Amino acid sequence: MYTNLGLIGNPLSHTFSPFIHNYFLYKAGICGGYTCYDIESYELEDIILMFQRYHFTGVNVTVPYKQAVMNYCAELDITAQNIGAVNTLHFTDNGIIGHNTDIFGFHMMLETSAVNTANKRVLLLGAGGASRAVIPYLTINRPDYFVIANRTVEKAQDLSLLYDNKADICKLDELKGLEFDIVINATSMGVKGEPYTDYGFTIKEAAVDMIYKPKITSFLSLYSKNNIKLVNGLPMLIYQAAGSFNIWTGCDITPDMEYFNKAVYK
Ligand code: ATR
């Protein structure tokens, strides 16, 4: 049997996901393929019907459809319910099940980088879709002090609801002079390599970026001389993919990060 996997989003021109999943298929000895569908929002329903008609096993979902696809799910697992977003669709005999493996990806990114937010002073930059995956991890590994800073402060307030309203909220330009142990960048600033604005806070232990390209992202480069841990978003990308692959195939892949590091940054 051929295992059909795919990705929907817009734009997809720079995605690395087919490389990752076709490699996982090869490693797991599964005959199949992973293809990308760069779609407009009016095409969403048709393409989901197409996936069902052609017996797809699973599809990843990226920006801007992580919320819209929830309307087509017969069921949402606890991860997707927790943060109100789906990045993995699983086509089953009981209908489409929506999952969110970004949460697992974020968890593994910190764990494999030996960064832990428990009892630390933590700052989260950004309050968009990507930042939602951070909250379940922080709920378990509770910081002493947690601030969400966003350009649009109302969105930070919304995000704080997922954290029982227990985070401090501020604007990015109110961070000057503050000190944190761990800072997580979940804004899309720097995604095209543009310079990152220095908001004047200091970091004592680790700078973590959800962006993975270049290896030292614009955000990380601000702190590259500070003798702190710098973590880019590659582990999150790879581990969320491994989580999806596990849901679709039952195969528990331990990603070879050295291989992916070489492949992405060669
Ligand atoms: P994603 O799904 O990648 O998180 P998103 O939901 O559009 O994308 O969120 C992007 C995040 O980056 C938001 O927090 C956004 O701030 P606003 O909520 O104020 O829009 C932030 N962001 C994007 N460009 C920014 C910029 N130039 N300066 C500051 N913050 C920026």
Summarised one tens digit per residue, pLDDT across range 238-261 is: 999 999 999 999 999 999 999 999
pLDDT per position as a tens digit, 225-241: 999 999 999 999 999 99
Ligand 1 centroid to Cα of residue 121, in Å, is 22
Which structural domains are found in the chain, ordered by start?
3-100+236-264 (3.40.50.10860), 104-232 (3.40.50.720)
180 and 170 Cβ atoms separated by less than 8 Å: no
At residue 190, the pLDDT reads 80
Q: Is 141 annotated as a binding residue?
A: no
At residue 17, the pLDDT reads 97
At residue 257, the pLDDT reads 96
Residue tagged active-site, from 66, 171, 229, 266:
66
At residue 193, the pLDDT reads 78
In this model, does residue 1 exceed pLDDT 90? no
Active site residue 266: no
User: What average pLDDT does the segment 171-188 reach?
Assistant: 97
In this model, does residue 154 exceed pLDDT 90? yes
In this model, does residue 192 exceed pLDDT 90? no
For 53, the token pair is 């008609």
User: What average pLDDT does the segment 128-139 reach?
Assistant: 95
Backbone φ, ψ for residue 175 (5° rounding): -90, -10
Protein residue with its CA nearest to atom 18 in ligand 1? 152
How far is residue 12's CA from residue 8's CA, in Å, rounded to a whole number? 8
Ligand 1 centroid to Cα of residue 189, in Å, is 7
What number does the ligand 1 atom closest to the CA of 172 have?
A: 29
Please, which pLDDT band fits residue 34 given cuts at 50, 70 and 90?
very high
At residue 134, the pLDDT reads 97
Protein residue with its CA nearest to atom 30 in ligand 1? 151
In this model, does residue 191 exceed pLDDT 90? no
What number does the ligand 1 atom closest to the CA of 63 have?
A: 2
